Structure 1
């Protein structure tokens, strides 16, 4: 992922706060020689204090052999993306039709070393952490080895701890455009009011002058 200086996060806090409100992404695992990567959409829980991501997948998933052969993986999370029409990006002193369309988006890529969790008790603990993230209010039985209702399901999954070893983050929100163009984009997003337009506009205004 190319990250220009004007699209880079101002500090680690910026991407950490953004990622803290997201828990769905795509896990990319290197494929065997001559084959493309495996890309697995999944829910996850990011534990910033431990520097790891936890998740789980079904045991029959075809990515396991590739992951065991090469545990270096990438977790990609993208959100707050919008399409910007060309006229919104036109130079202040030029005709609108000369503007170049573009995409605005936020993205975080976590480079990780994967650790497979097969021990039943460790899997149960991992699942309880993950469910606790998604259901902090409770409402579900705890996972325990040999106990109903989930104990019998443990053999059918494998847990994953993804040890974070590197981060690339990007907030592409017209950071290099002059103020007049940024104003036009912000106004266009407000008027259009489509999915994610409000979030993209908030990023643009927040990062203005960064």
Structure 2
């Protein structure tokens, strides 16, 4: 579907919204400035005028995804606040097709991303962690969430267990074969909660 829109009404936010709609419909591999221009019914140069490059468009899209995270009604206790922020971050990624792959491929120093990061780091500092520990634990929690969510979204197309079961041998990979049920078992919700608890030292 092509959504015709007058050029004079275009702005970066309009381009980003159209790009996110295209992402949800066709996935990250199909995303391009040309495809977004076609969706908006304008020339590709018009899209580039507003977002400059595809890389910049992806940064703005990633920031928009993070901007969908509600920061209201967070727990007062710092450790509970950290856990809840990570949960909301994951839900925002899952709300868009290939959302984790989109965000992990960018480094968006934009308003929504910086606001979320500020609140996340503050929660770690409020819990009594040092500046270094707060910063590095934030990285660890975010990278874990991005990686697991990216695998979760990829598994919707081809489950990991299906690939591993045919590749593992009890003689060549005895430890992997022995633990296969745990590697592929459990829901992604369970894996996320377990991993985040381990990272935050709340076990």
Q: TM-score per shorter chain, which class?
A: under 0.3
Q: Which has the higher helix share?
A: 2
- Is the radius of gyration larger for structure 1 or structure 2? 1
- Structure number with higher strand proportion: 1
Which structure would you say has the larger RCO, counting Cα contacts within 8 Å and 6 or more residues apart?
1
